[in-house]
Amino acid sequence: MADDFDPAIRARQLRDFIRHHDYRYYVLDDPEISDADYDALFRELAAIEASHPELDDSASPTKRVGGAPAEGFVSRPHRQRMYSLDNAMSREEWEAFLERARNALARQGGKLPGTFFVDPKFDGLALEVIYENGRFVAALTRGDGVTGEDVTENLRTVRNLPLSLTPHAAAAGLPVPRLLEVRGEVVITRQHFYELNEARRAAGEKIFANPRNAAAGSVRQLDPKVTAARPLRFFAYATGAVDSPDSGPPWTTHAAMMRALGLYGFSVARQGRTCRTSEVYPFFQELGKMRLDLPFEIDGAVVKCDDLAVQAELGFTDRAPRFAVALKFPAHEAETILRKIEVQVGRTRVITPVAILEPVSLAGVTVSRATLHNEDEIAAKDLREGDTVVVRRAGDVIPEVVRAIEEKRPPEGRRPYIFPPDCPSCHTPSVRLPGEAARRCVNPDCPGVRLRGIVYFVSKAGLDIEGVGGRWIEILVDRGLLRSPADLFTLTREQLLELPRMKETLASKFVASIAKARDTATLERCIAALGIPLVGSRTARTLAGRYRDLGALSEAGEEELTELSDIGPEVARSIREFFTTPENQELLNRFREIGLWPRGEPKKATTQAGHLAGKRFLFTGELPGMPRHEAQALLEAAGGIVVSAVSKKLDYLVAGDKPGSKLQKARDLGVTVIGPGEFVDLLRPRRGGNVSVQASLF
Ligand code: IVH
């Protein structure tokens, strides 16, 4: 066999295999082989190329790792100008666009056909990629539309960009054009954006303000190896010049062109579709609803006349096509003034900063507060009180401050923000433990911590006591009537009636719902309501399934606790710490006295069946399009166990959008971290092969 070995033939074969598998994996999202098998093909090809330099080929998949750094970017003209798009911000503006197109065609004796192609408007970096005789030869940024920057070597590293057009097109009767210019957008998933920023933050580098900047910053890198390390994707949405063997493009509608681009090997938005005129606006609204569930940022829909002859008839203004328009979603980013940074202490003693903003409308909601995470986050963004800032609502309902607009600071500057060293409630010095981003109040008697603890106790996450709201609790704590959750159960109507604006009926209801909660609370709820750090509803259920009552739980040792299916050492320690605190022991005594002492139903540990039996999972961040409880239910159905903290015993950390500190911790401990797509893939029974799939809804 060694005698028959022809490196040129084998290299060609391997390149074809790898191209095919890249296409299956990155474009179709449907891999056929395992990562290990893929790696073996890749290594074999790399070895052949290394020992046979004469086989060098710029379209080889091995070229995706990034070549030598460039000195600077070279400007090049576009063959055809890359136009911008006019925006329509409302239904009226969409109708005005239609009217203009109708009139323009009427002047030429024509009529506007009722078919449009509508696809998501990507919020990334617009580019043109150029193919000659089926091979990728160049990539240019949009630039000013007339000339762009040559980013060829950087685009070569983008995994879903075909380096040579796939043979699927030929099979469908499509010729390989002598020249094919494809326009599209380079994007980065929100998930990867957060991960990238987390890594940059940890390395003390400047963070990207949004996924668009991250994508643009990653493409505009002089060192293609840096680009190669970023998980960028290219989505095609239009063509520039096309020169086919039989002259013009082999398609006559935008929809047919998009199908052809798919067949040539490009990723195109799966949501793109043709619409009748009356369907366009409802479809745009539908995309708006999907928006936050998509892995990539989109900021609207682009509507194009489907018939390319009509596109040509309508032509362009100086700036934009007359045959296309961008329907934009209401902005979810806005500028406003950061009036003040307030700090709050929570039930877990963590002191969190909150931005108090000049109210501003964001995606239809008025926002006047936003989370600032912690001290380091404020420092990294260099936010200062009085600054003009950009706020946004991302995959989340909680708005956040993205950055300060430094140019809008007064020339004399503003004082950098200094995080207060004391607890905002009790004014004792707060403490920051090594390795933690959070400051904590360590005063065991802090009224702020008490208040938040009691509010949590009555909340939906706790005993869910109807009609007992945070405002009343605040008043009761202020007046010294409530010091611990146990005090709720001894409150009398008379005491309540002394509060300002407290009515007879409300006081009676108040007392009745507290009594009802005492009589109906389950052990699980009671444990959850204690607000033990790291113990959520899930762990509370496990504990209630194992211990007779709060007394038995309070005596459990750390080792015994870690034997439970979803409890790691950290959680066990936290539980132990909670119950050994004299104050909490006192709380339990009082619960017993007042009759809040539910019994559990200890169960034997069950052995789970299913292809993930016994595997331990933990979630961090949001899974796009899948509520957490649903993910847990699916996982449990497959035999998996959801644990509550990161430990070495964890099999998988599932990191969604905006992952928390668990991500870093899992990495530190060498725990396998998977994305939402891989998680969904794991839920499916194995076909064999350890295949990992990219999360992609496009
Ligand atoms: S079509 C002649 N489709 O948005 C029409 N453009 O803000 C060519 N963009 O310059 C553009 N998503 O770079 C088209 N699905 C999409 C798009 C899209 C994003 C970009 C495009 C344009 C910019 C205007």
The residue to which tokens 């998009």 are assigned: 258
How far, CA to CA in Å, does 173 sit from each of 68, 161, 264, 299, 307? 38, 22, 11, 35, 21
Reported confidence tier of residue 315, pLDDT bands at 50, 70, 90: very high
How far apart, in whole angstroms, are the C-alpha atoms of residue 370 and residue 391? Answer: 8
β-bridge partners, 298: 122
Confidence at 98, pLDDT banded by 50, 70, 90: very high
**Pair of tokens at residue 29:** 């999202």
Measure the CA–CA gap between 578 and 660, rounded to whole angstroms: 23
CA-nearest residue for atom 16, ligand 1, is: 121
447-594 has which fold? Answer: DNA polymerase; domain 1 (1.10.150)
Sheet holding 179-188, edge to edge: 135-141, 125-132, 179-188, 232-243
Name which residue sits closest to atom 12 of ligand 1, judged by CA: 121
Own/partner contacts of 448-452, CB < 8 Å, gap of 24 or more, are 448/344, 448/345, 448/423, 448/424, 449/345, 449/346, 449/347, 449/349, 449/425, 450/477, 450/482, 450/483, 450/484, 451/425, 451/477, 452/345, 452/346, 452/347
Which carries the bigger pLDDT value, residue 510 or residue 633?
Answer: 510
The fraction of the chain above a pLDDT of 90, given in percent, is: 54
CB 123 within 8 A of CB 331: no
Tell me which of 117, 142, 212, 237 to substitute to probe ligand 1's pocket, judged by most ligand atoms within 8 Å of the beta carbon.
237
Question: How many Å apart are CA 522 and CA 459, to the nearest integer?
Answer: 15
- Provide the CATH number for the domain formed by 333-439 in this structure: 2.40.50.140
Task: Determine which residue's CA is closest to atom 18 belonging to ligand 1.
Answer: 121
The ranges of the chain annotated as CATH 3.40.50.10190 are 616-697
In whole angstroms, give the CA distance from residue 587 to residue 593: 10
Would you state the pLDDT for residue 358? 94
Which helix or strand (DSSP H or E) is residue 633 part of? helix 628-637
N-to-C CA span, the chain: 44
Task: Render pLDDT for 200-234 as a digit per residue (tens, 0 to 9).
Answer: 877 777 778 788 889 999 999 899 998 998 999 99
Q: Which of 2-11, 97-106, 497-506 has the lowest mean pLDDT?
A: 2-11
Mutation test of ligand 1: which of 116, 117, 185 has the most ligand atoms closer than 8 Å to its C-beta?
Answer: 185
pLDDT band at 485 (very low <50, low <70, confident <90, very high): very high
Q: Distance, CA 161 to ligand 1 centroid (Å)?
A: 18
Instruction: Give the distance (Å) from ligand 1 centre to CA of residue 150.
Output: 19
Q: Region 160-186: what's the mean pLDDT? A: 90
Which tokens in the block code for residue 649? Answer: 């015993």
pLDDT-derived band of residue 47, with 50, 70 and 90 as boundaries?
very high
Sequence-distant (≥ 6) Cβ neighbours of residue 284 within 8 angstroms = 94, 118, 300, 301, 303, 327
One of 1.20.59.20, 1.10.287.610, 3.30.230.10, 3.30.30.10 is the CATH number of 7-65, namely 1.10.287.610
Given this model, what pLDDT does residue 183 score? 98
Contact 449, 457 (CB under 8 A): no
Q: Regarding beta strands 232-243 and 273-276, do their DSSP bridges make them parallel or antiparallel, or are they unpaired?
A: unpaired
- Cα 259 to ligand 1 centroid, rounded to whole Å: 17
Residue 682 to residue 693: CA distance in whole angstroms: 9
Q: Which fold has domain 87-328?
A: D-amino Acid Aminotransferase; Chain A, domain 1 (3.30.470)
Protein fold of 616-697: Rossmann fold (3.40.50)
Nearest residue by C-alpha to atom 13 in ligand 1 = 126
Taking 70 as the threshold, does the pLDDT of residue 395 lie above it?
no
Catalytic residue numbers read: 121
Average pLDDT over residues 333-354: 93
Mean pLDDT of 309-337: 92
Please list the residue range(s) of the chain that carry CATH number 2.40.50.140: 333-439
What are the residue ranges of CATH 3.30.470.30 in the chain?
87-328
Least confident of 50-59, 130-139, 468-477: 468-477
As a whole number, mean pLDDT of residues 153-174 equals 89
Identify the H or E element spanning 22: helix 7-22
What's the pLDDT tens digit per position in 587-613? 999 999 999 999 876 654 444 467 787
What angle, 0 to 180 degrees and rounded to 10, lies between the N-to-C axes of helices 190-202 and 662-669?
A: 70
Q: Given ligand 1 and candidates 84, 85, 129, 212, which is best to mutate, with the most ligand atoms within 8 Å of its CB?
A: 85
- pLDDT attached to residue 690: 28
CA 685 to centroid of ligand 1, rounded, Å: 40
Comparing 150 with 541, the larger pLDDT belongs to 150
Taking residues 527-531, report their average pLDDT.
Answer: 94
Average pLDDT in the chain: 88
pLDDT of residue 631: 79
Domain ranges in the chain with CATH number 1.10.287.610: 7-65
Ligand 1: residues with CB < 6 A are 83-85, 119-122, 126, 185, 237-238, 302, 321, 324, 326
Full strand arrangement of the beta sheet holding 324-328: 87-88, 324-328, 298-305, 115-122, 273-276
**How does strand 431-432 pair with strand 439-440?**
antiparallel
* pLDDT in the model for residue 120: 97
Distance, in Å, from the CA atom of 636 to the CA atom of 622, rounded to the nearest integer, reads 18
| pLDDT score for 247 | 67
- Mean pLDDT to the nearest integer, 308-315: 96
The 10s digit of each residue's pLDDT in 410-432 is: 988 899 999 999 999 999 999 98
| Phi (first) and psi of residue 276, to 5 degrees | -70, 160
Rounded CA-CA distance 630/627 in Å is: 5
Contacts of 501 (CB under 8 A, 6+ apart): none
State the angle between helix axes of 628-637 and 676-683 in degrees (0 to 180), rounded to the nearest 10.
30
The residues near 169 (Cβ < 8 Å, ≥ 6 apart) are: 176, 260, 263, 264, 265
Q: Which residue puts its alpha carbon closest to atom 9 of ligand 1? A: 121
pLDDT higher than threshold 70 for residue 569: yes
Closest listed residue to residue 324, CA positions, set 332, 312, 335:
312
Residue 297 or 238, more confident: 238
DSSP state string for 388-454: EEEEE--SSSS-EEEEE-GGGS-TT--PPP---SB-TTT-PBPEE-TT-S-EE---TT-HHHHHHHH
Residue ranges matching CATH 1.10.150.20 in the chain: 447-594
Specify which residues 618 forms β-bridges with. 653
Q: DSSP class of residue 360?
A: E
Q: Which has more pLDDT, 147 or 392?
A: 147
